[in-house]
Structure 1
Amino acid sequence: MDRWVALLRGVNVGGAKVAMADLRRLVTGLGHHDAQTYLQSGNVVFGSTVRDADALARGIERAIADELGLTVPVLVRSGRELAAVAGGNPYAGREDDPTRLMVVFLATAPDPAAVAALTVPDGENVAFTVAGREVYLHHPDGGYGRSRFTNNHLEKKLGVVATTRNWRSVRALAGMSTG
């Protein structure tokens, strides 16, 4: 059985309200095992014999829609993929404050032309690296909350659904999904 991480977009941070107990129940009700949530922002780690991340995401989206009446995009990564994300942050070695590091998870790899055209809004000091289906962000002068280089900005510019997690959450989820 493989370990998986489902990342719900916009849950409990100004968007749809989903109780983590309901999320665990929904995931378990789909036949997955050992569902554990992390924080209140739509992160669930679980075991499954299903090996198709897109099928897992669609199943969780459908269960949320059917049982809670909410339309919530769900992105799924394997435990191995999340471990690689946690181990591949190009900014982790140069920043001691995890609140200044973010990872934006993308539903699909963006078009290379959209990546090439991606720029930081004027007046902001943000470093970013697009690596496959992730965008690593470093905000050396302050937090993500004051930036215009946000999840919504990236969705618009890259043309893909995205959800953002802070570095502490990424590391915690990686640990939960591999250990």
Structure 2
Amino acid sequence: MENYAVFLRGINVGGINIKMADLKSALKDQPFSQVKTLLASGNVVLQSGLTPAKVKSGFEKCLRDSFGYDAWVVVLTAGRVGELVAACPYPADDKSTHSYVTLASDAAMLDELVEAGHALDSVELTRLGPEALAWLAPAGGTLDSPFSKLTAKARYKAGTTTRNLRTLIKVKDAATSL
């Protein structure tokens, strides 16, 4: 059995509202155990004997069937989440900036985001691996930051999702303690 972190894209924003209790209930018939939801923003930790790709496809199908929307998730092992958190050069807490990590299920899509991000003079980016990119946004201005607007484009919807570094740390802690 492997410990996994599953990051859902776009729930509890933009009209797709899913209660975490309903999500957990929908997953009960899946080949997952120790399912825990975190922070009502689409973070799930679980155990499974499936590969990451099978967890992803099963999870997405369950969401589509149970909640009727085009669901996309990024699945990482607990160990990989820990590696990404450790590799992030930015602080988890800072009064002037917030640290974010954009996670991708498609490395080519993340490559494209990195290239587009480097064209923006106002963003600091650090590639953490094939599936993750760390970046900074001004405190209080995240949604207005040029890179945040870039990541929100429909082009990236199916393959990426972004989390605050503090959230990623909480998910790592929960996933490793299953």
Quickly name the TM-score band, shorter chain normalised.
0.7 to 0.9
Structure 1 residues 148 and 22, CA, compared in 2 at 3 Å: closer, same or farther?
Answer: same
Gaps (5+ residues) in structure 1? none
Q: Name the structure 1 match of 2:74.
A: 75
Q: How does 1:30-179 map to 2 (within 5 A)?
A: 30-50=30-50, 52-92=51-91, 96-97=94-95, 100-110=98-108, 114=112, 117-119=115-117, 125-130=122-127, 131-140=129-138, 142-150=140-148, 152-153=150-151, 161-179=159-177
Q: What RMSD in Å do the two structures reach over aligned CA positions? A: 2.8
Q: How does 1:6-17 map to 2 (within 5 A)?
A: 6-17=6-17
Structure 1 residues 112 and 120, CA, compared in 2 at 3 Å: closer, same or farther?
Answer: closer
Q: In structure 2, the residue corresponding to 1:80 is in which secondary structure?
A: helix
State the shift of 1:99 in Å: 6.3
Question: TM-score normalized by structure 2?
Answer: 0.84
Q: Name the structure 1 match of 2:4.
A: 4
Structure 1 residues 168 and 98, CA, compared in 2 at 3 Å: closer, same or farther?
Answer: farther
Task: Indicate if the aligned counterparts of 1:101 and 1:167 stay in contact, CA closer than 8 A.
Answer: yes
Amino acid at match of 2:99: L
Q: In structure 2, the residue corresponding to 1:92 is in which secondary structure?
A: coil
Mapped partners of 2:117, 2:31: distance in 1: 42
Task: Indicate if the aligned counterparts of 1:5 and 1:76 stay in contact, CA closer than 8 A.
Answer: yes
Mapped partners of 1:99, 1:25: distance in 2: 37
Structure 1 residues 159 and 63, CA, compared in 2 at 3 Å: closer, same or farther?
Answer: closer
Q: Deviations over 1:92-123 (max 9, x none)?
A: 38x6349610000011212697366323565x
State the shift of 1:64 in Å: 1.2
Mapped partners of 1:113, 1:43: distance in 2: 24
Mapped partners of 2:4, 2:28: distance in 1: 13
Amino acid at match of 1:37: T
Amino acid at match of 1:69: G
Mapped partners of 1:29, 1:133: distance in 2: 28
> Share of identical aligned residues, percent?
26
Structure 1 residues 99 and 8, CA, compared in 2 at 3 Å: closer, same or farther?
Answer: farther
Q: In structure 2, the residue corresponding to 1:175 is in which secondary structure?
A: helix
Q: In structure 2, the residue corresponding to 1:100 is in which secondary structure?
A: strand
